[in-house]
Structure 1
């Protein structure tokens, strides 16, 4: 009977040990599952934010159309020439549109003076037109004080260009 009591004691002691180990294992599994779920949530949120941020980057271009310019060109020996040109300005955002409208007299004056200082030979070629476009951009940005932070006019496009 002494052996039976020892077996009963051993049998009685074993189930609590198994339950303790079971709770320990379940606790560890629960903690790992929670950590895995938290990590999955975190990474899915950061992917959503980066996708949203990438979608915001491509902005719609903003353009300002200037009234048509008609000027006398400098005499180049082959007689008098006239230039009639339509210009659209590409600007960084809508606040620059307001600045362009506010400074329109200064901008038109600068562009008129620049255009009238050219000869027909200087602006007839593709290179001459591209150089003129860059000079107009520089001239327009002067009254806008747009050298800071890349704001202002970023492109000048000719919508019509007639030399007579």
Structure 2
């Protein structure tokens, strides 16, 4: 009877190591999956964090060529806007005294151009005021008149901050009106 007890005891001990091997394999597989998920999450968090800091400011465009001549799929930097102070200018008299009060922002190609625009601020203000003082109210009332004025202001600013460049292709991309009042 003693001989029979030993084989039963050894048979009872054999199955637990088989279960523990399966358990170890399952735990290792689950641990590997969790580590992969954690690594992927950390990668995406770090990548989005660097985008928020402005380290990755280039944006791929998937559009047809725009008015600045950029081609489809070209890389383009994020726009920089520079708000300018309000302009209040007397217009060329048509029916009594009239004036325009104008507030606008300028879209420039980069931060360096924005700094350059601030440096040339007095000259920009002078030239824009001279441009506005030569206009009639009837020229500025229509949508086309406002668009033409925006283009003229853009060209005027480009000629100041980038004198050698073609005015329409300069670093100032667009003039955006925030307030336009004629009285």
TM-score by length of 2: 0.56
Give the alignment partner of residue 86 of structure 1, picking from 103, 120, 134: 103
Question: Matched residues in 2 for 1:71 and 1:137: separation?
Answer: 18
Which residue is 1:133 aligned to? 150
Which residue is 2:91 aligned to? 73
**Structure of larger gyration radius:** 1
Measured against aligned partners, the alpha-carbon deviations of 1:69-105 in whole angstroms (never above 9, x if no partner) come to 00101001x1111100101000000110011011111
Pairing 1:161–2:176 present: no
For the structure 1 residues 54 and 64, does the alpha-carbon distance in structure 2 shift closer, same or farther, using more than 3 Å as the test? closer
SS of corresponding position for 2:132? helix
Give the number of the structure with larger relative contact order, counting CA–CA contacts within 8 Å between residues 6 or more apart. Answer: 1
Question: Matched residues in 2 for 1:124 and 1:99: separation?
Answer: 32
**How far has the Cα of 1:58 moved from its partner?**
4.4
Aligned length: 111
Is 1:96–1:151's contact at 8 Å kept on the other side of the alignment?
no
Is 2:87–2:101's contact at 8 Å kept on the other side of the alignment?
yes
Normalized per residue, which structure has more helix?
Answer: 1
For the structure 1 residues 80 and 102, does the alpha-carbon distance in structure 2 shift closer, same or farther, using more than 3 Å as the test? same
SS of corresponding position for 2:154? helix
Structure 1: gaps spanning 5 or more residues: 1-51
Question: Matched residues in 2 for 1:54 and 1:141: separation?
Answer: 26
RMSD: 2.1
